[in-house]
A and B are shown apart, each in its own frame.
Chain A
Amino acid sequence: MILKGATLKRLAMAFSLIFAMLTIAMGATQDTINFSHKVHSTKVEVECAVCHKPVLKGANIGMMSMPIMKTCAGECHGDQINSKDSSDCAICHKNVKSAGKLSINRTLPRFNHGQHPAIKTNCKECHAGMELVDKSTITALPGMPACIKCHDNRKAPAECKTCHVNIDELKPASHGVRWLESSEHGIQSRVNMVSCEQCHQQSSCDQCHRGLRSTRLHSVNYLFSHGVDARTQSARCATCHDTRRFCSSCH
């Protein structure tokens, strides 16, 4: 195939455009804010709700619960915000040139303070120690032990999907592509069922061990080819099939 001049020109333009976009994307720096919870909580004695007002109104966690620049204005930082001097901007913005919207680079669980009225006004119950740190990191946020105090299927639902948006992310490293097929998950369930029960219920076992699995484990042609496995790996057959019943149905 021979490319003509016009086509080559279009291709070159397209590549240039993509290259330029990639360069911009890779070179882009994110805005970072100089902010100390410790200073604001202990020295200035600002209440949590002053900055995180949307939380009281029932916003989901994430950027919706974070203060915007207007929040910082008023008595405290009004002068700096209205100033044209970049040194004033640098009090908060680490990189003045790239100052812009903030973002959170991780998938947060589904949580709405408005739906948790019991803890809505008692921040320290879940965010204990926040007033002692400068930067709010994941370690300063409440972990699952705080949630399961109530989310125990008695006071509140305990299903994974209640809070976790992407359940696939919760899969342990051991649950690779061969996990179900290998013998290991069987022995693990006998040795450490407590660990399995963190995510799975009895019905998870039934799906395969009672043939209720929605997707098949064997090949469609396994009825024809199963003889090779049945003769050499019969003990593995017996882990799911009650051989007294299952084999005798045909044999």
Chain B
Amino acid sequence: MITTKFISYPASLKRLLFNRFFIFFVILTLVPEIANAGLIGATWNNAWYPQTGYQIPSAKLATCFEGIDFFAENFGPSDNFSFFTNIDYTDNYFYGHTNELELNNLYLQWEDSARTSNVRLGRQFVVESPLPLYLDGVSAKTTLGKYLEISALGGMKAPPRWSYDVITTQTDSIQPIFEFQIGPAMASGTSLKAQYCAETDVDKNVVQFAGATFGQDFHNGSILSAEFLYDLTHSRVERAGAYATIYLFHALVLTPELSADNRWSDSLFNTDVLLNQTNLRAGMLALWKYGPRFEIGAGYWMHDFYSLGISNEMQLMAFVGPLNLDLRTTSGYGGNSSILTGELCVVKKPTFKILVDAEAASITYSDLATMTGLTWTGSIATEIFPSGFFNSRIELQAIGNPYEKIDMRVLLQTTFTISRFFK
């Protein structure tokens, strides 16, 4: 089990720490090499809402999220180095995790001039991993010749809370991981990668995986993808799936999928009952497209939750210009729900948008009578982009459900982006 030891700083100290990062970035830009970077930029993303009531002693303007991106691309002797970071310093009052900074990304990247190879060092989200993860370590990728792609990574999984103070105090949750992938790259229209991974689970056991991914692009835009990952240690399928996007007569798009996943069994809800079971999902969506602004479709999915029960999901959807309508019903294991959603996005100018959405739903949990009933939501938002450097969003949200009755909130979001190409 993970024994988590969290440290909460006083707000003033947190501010100081944030300032420390800010000062760090400012100093970075003064380093001659980095100051000469091709592109330097920072994005500050912030959203607040007035909050009062549950667990909040007095009304305050709470932060929904707050973070900063900083990047300096193409510096160094041959412009081969880049630096990226993303810090989340949200005050999460609801969870009681106030005054913590979280490092989502902080890595140095080297890339060759032909952009066929790169190496990243630091905390990074590795999307291409068979086990997509936040990694503290090194990842490298190269394309040999024109078509052969090789990638590898090594290091530790980022701690669950990702807070930089947790790194030093939560030593018992260190989970080393190693991965290797090899295969033809997609440049040839076909991709086939063989994969090997070894990770340490929360109980310090080494778990090994072997797998493969396959992708095929067709001339008419159709795509076929498949993946298979086998847990060699527990002799079970970790994840498997086949997905396709099939274009017929330019207008009809079929997207069948069949997937199985066992990753959940490593989670909080892990019990012996769930081990060696598979979460299956099978179904297909048929979409009829007429031009870029009209889509109508229907889909059906079957979910088999670790063989404990089956849930059926049906969906009808229509996308007509700015209006998006969606009706989804779920029945079976897990509860019943019928959700009708409507969204409208009106673009008044390229710099100004209005978004309206509403939802009505009926939720039934067989084992939770208090959480059963009708729910509704509504929201109206405007997004303003007066320049490429700044955009803001104001949103009024209202919800009603049997648990929270009626709740209203206003969300104010601002994003500042400063970027400059220097070469």
Contacts and interface: CB of A to CB of B under 8 A. Distances in A.
A248 to B, nearest CB: 5
Interface string A236-251: 1011001111011111
Contact of A225 (B69, B128, B317, B361): B361
Given A214-B413, A220-B397, A243-B264, A187 B86 contact: no
Contact of A214 (B264, B333, B415): B415
A177 B74 CA distance: 35
B317 A212 contact: no
A231 interface: yes
Contacts of B287: 176, 178
Contacts of A84: none
B404 interface: yes
B190 to A, nearest CB: 10
Nearest to B141: A193
30 contacts: A153-B74, A157-B38, A157-B39, A173-B247, A176-B295, A176-B319, A177-B319, A183-B241, A187-B213, A188-B223, A190-B132, A192-B191, A192-B215, A193-B127, A196-B127, A202-B84, A206-B104, A212-B86, A219-B377, A225-B375, A228-B335, A231-B335, A232-B333, A234-B279, A235-B279, A239-B132, A242-B134, A244-B160, A249-B97, A251-B268
Given A184-B257, A233-B281, A235-B279, A221 B377 contact: yes
A178 B317 contact: yes
Interface stretch (B12-20, B26-34, B55-63, B363-371): B363-371
B375 A224 contact: yes
A189 B403 CA distance: 38
Contacts of A189: 127-128
Q: Contact size class for B?
A: 35 or more
A182 B255 contact: yes
B99 to A, nearest CB: 16
A124 interface: no
Contacts of A231: 305, 311, 333-335
B268 A206 contact: no
A237 B221 CA distance: 29
Given A152-B115, A190-B128, A224-B371, A238 B263 contact: yes
A187 B129 CA distance: 10
A227 B403 CA distance: 13
Contacts of A156: 421, 423
Contacts of A43: none
A182 to B, nearest CB: 7
A184 B245 contact: yes
B399 interface: yes
B387 interface: no
A214 B383 CA distance: 10
Given A173-B221, A212-B88, A178 B285 contact: yes
B339 interface: yes
A21 to B, nearest CB: 23
B127 A191 contact: no
Contact of A154 (B38, B241, B262, B363): B38
A186 B259 CA distance: 12
B393 A247 contact: no
B150 interface: no
The 6 residue pairs across chains A and B that have the minimum distance between CB atoms: A235-B261, A231-B334, A191-B215, A243-B267, A232-B311, A232-B303
Interface in A182-222: 182-184, 186-196, 202-203, 205-206, 209-212, 214-215, 219-221
B285 A212 contact: no
A106 interface: no
Contacts of A221: 359, 361, 375-377, 399, 401
Among A156, A178, A206, A228, chain B packs the most CB atoms within 10 A around the CB of A228
B38 A184 contact: no
Nearest to B334: A231
Interface of A: 152-157, 161, 172-174, 176-178, 182-184, 186-196, 202-203, 205-206, 209-212, 214-215, 219-221, 224-225, 227-236, 238-239, 242-245, 247-251
Contact of B269 (A154, A157, A247, A250): A247
B395 to A, nearest CB: 9
A239 B259 CA distance: 13
Given A221-B359, A232-B311, A190 B130 contact: yes
Contacts of B165: none
A149 to B, nearest CB: 12
Contact of A220 (B269, B311, B399): B399
Given A212-B67, A214-B413, A221-B359, 17 more contacts: A153-B74, A154-B113, A176-B319, A182-B285, A184-B245, A184-B257, A187-B227, A188-B223, A190-B227, A192-B217, A212-B86, A220-B379, A225-B361, A227-B363, A232-B305, A233-B281, A249-B97
Contacts of A153: 38-39, 73-74, 421
A163 to B, nearest CB: 13
Contact of B125 (A176, A202, A228): A202
Contact of A194 (B187, B324, B336, B375): B187
Contacts of A193: 127-128
B132 A225 contact: no
Interface string B131-153: 01010000000000000000000
A59 to B, nearest CB: 23
